[in-house]
Amino acid sequence: MGINIVEMYEKEHMKRDIPDTPIGSTVKVHYRIIEGEKERIQIFEGVVIARKRAALRSSITVRKVTAGIGVERVFPIHSPKIDKIEVTRLGRVRRSKLYYLRELRGKKARIREKDQY
Amino acid sequence: MRQTILGRKLGMSQIFDHQGNAIPVTIVQAGPCTVLQVKTVQTDGYNAIQLGFGEKKEKHTTKPLQGHFRKSDSTPKRHVREARIDDPSLFKVGQVITAGLFQKDDRVDITGTSKGKGFAGVMKRHGFSGFMASHGVHESKRGPGSIGQSADPSRVFKGMKMPGQMGNESVTVQNLKVVDVRESQNLIMVKGPVPGGKNGLLVIHHAIKKAAPPLREPETEEVEPVPEAVEEELDAGLTAAEVSEESAPVTAETAEEVPAEPVQEAAAQEEPEAESKRAESAVEEEAGETAEEPKES
């Protein structure tokens, strides 16, 4: 007792080189796809609309609009299937969950870039 | 031989397998358990061992129990449970049983006490639908409705689903797969949930619906070189799998299985069934793996 073994165990399996992906930022997720024998990397680029912070079980929800249809994917960020995550743009947002974007289209669904200081 | 050990539920987490699938696991502290007494057909009419698990202070132990623990040269244990065994000659009083009893890919049955829900109504306890919240329903929104007929039976049939105590009962979950074993810390990770809350007492047993595992050497507290080697090789296999994932998943799988070979052979010398048993569980593993893709909407 005393030490939390579950926490210790999760720490061991966590990736250490994951960049910070703040809410509202635009990210490129390099995702490994195994097709039979071959393996390739698919890039999913979109806005981080939600983050779950739970050590090894952490995940991010990335939303993008493809051909007018909104696509959201939940990536467990410590998964070995994720090759790397690139942050291309930081957004200025005032919510921790950007679910309101689902109702917005076009110009209204834009996120202002975060001012750099 | 099937064996039993006592343990404690530590909590749940997840593990990624070499294909990147997230597997939900429960982390269980399995042992160390001390054999407090060996019962045999000659002396007691049946074969069993009495296991003690978890420390408690001597001042909290009754005098008769103190004497019982002293007989096996053990510190006072919080939990004492009996486990039926086939061959009492394999055990001696004072022996310590550790998590090394189990190996990766073994199947286990786990018994625990489920979380108590108190006196629950039929909606919670039996999944009844209840009644509408409006449209004139009064006084029976969560009621069971009719519980029988009229003058004909003039009674309520036995087994009728009624409100009552829910939870806080002994529940066994069968055929849970052991995903990982940490012998140094006496930890085992099993796939899926187990009954009860955190820190609840668990009785872990080799699955009765699967082939009994071969008798493995490291059952005593003496040095146990075999399982440690297994652990290292599995770690090596995992990292190899990660690296070679770019080339092909087939290589990744062989990379994991090949280094484990020598250990299996060592076990096979003891018991010829070992090889076939391993093969069997390998097949099961492949069949049991379902792709867990992240959700898309």
B contact residues 170-209, partner A, Cβ 8 Å cutoff:
185, 187
Q: What is the pLDDT of residues B167-185, one digit of tens each?
A: 999 999 999 999 989 888 8
Residue B212 has a pLDDT of 76
Vertex B101: Cα angle to B236 and B91 (nearest 5): 145
Q: Any residues with CB less than 8 A from the CB of A4 and at least 6 apart, and which? A: none
Chain A CB contacts of B22 under 8 Å are 76, 79
Residue B292 has a pLDDT of 46
Residue B243 has a pLDDT of 46
CATH of the domain spanning B4-117+162-206: 2.40.30.10
Three-state secondary structure readout of chain B:
CCCEEEEEEEEEEEEECCCCCEEEEEEEEECCEEEEEEECHHHHCCCEEEEEEEECCHHHCCHHHHHHHHHCCCCCEEEEEEEECCCHHHCCCCCEECHHHCCCCCEEEEEEECCCCEEECHHHHHCCCCCCCCCCCCCCCCCCCCCCCCCCCCCCCCCCCCCEEECCCEEEEEEEEEEEEECCCCEEEEECCCCCCCCCEEEEEECCCCCCCCCCCCCCCCCCHHHHHHHHHHHHHHHHHHHCCCCCHHHHHHHHHHHHHHHHHHHHHHCCHHHHHHHHHHHHHHHHCCCCCCCEC
Chain A CB contacts of B249 under 8 Å are 34, 37, 39
Query: Which of B13, B18, B22 comes nearest A9 by C-beta?
Result: B13
Q: What is the pLDDT of residues A21-63, one digit of tens each?
A: 889 899 999 998 888 888 889 999 999 999 998 888 899 999 9
Around B252, how many Cα atoms within 13 Å sit in the side-chain half-sphere?
19
Q: Per the CB < 8 Å rule, is A9 touching B246?
A: no
Max Cα–Cα distance, chain B, nearest Å: 75
Q: How many CB pairs under 8 A join A and B?
A: 61
Q: How much of chain B exceeds pLDDT 70, in percent? A: 72
Residue B288 has a pLDDT of 45
The answer to whether residue B101 scores a pLDDT higher than 50 is yes
Query: Which of A37, A57, A70 comes nearest B14 by C-beta?
Result: A57
Residue B27 touches partner A, C-beta closer than 8 Å: yes
The answer to whether residue B112 scores a pLDDT higher than 90 is yes
Vertex B79: Cα angle to B76 and B80 (nearest 5): 85
Beta bridge partners of B21: none
pLDDT class for A117, splitting at 50, 70, 90? low
Q: Per the CB < 8 Å rule, is A5 touching B12?
A: no
CA distance B260 to chain A (A): 21
Query: Which of B12, B18, B297 comes nearest A72 by C-beta?
Result: B297
Q: Any residues with CB less than 8 A from the CB of B13 and at least 6 apart, and which? A: A6, A9, A10, A56, A57, B24, B25, B27
Q: Where are the alpha helices (DSSP H) in A27-116?
A: none
Domains annotated on chain A, with CATH: 5-102 (2.30.30.790)
Q: What is the pLDDT of residues B33-70, one digit of tens each?
A: 899 999 999 998 999 999 999 888 888 999 999 999 88
Chain B CB contacts of A59 under 8 Å are 294
ipTM of predicted complex: 0.79
Q: What is the pLDDT of residues B208-250, one digit of tens each?
A: 888 777 766 554 444 444 444 444 445 554 444 444 444 444 4
Q: What is the pLDDT of residues A3-24, one digit of tens each?
A: 688 888 888 888 888 888 889 8
Residue B273 has a pLDDT of 47
Chain B CB contacts of A76 under 8 Å are 16, 22, 294
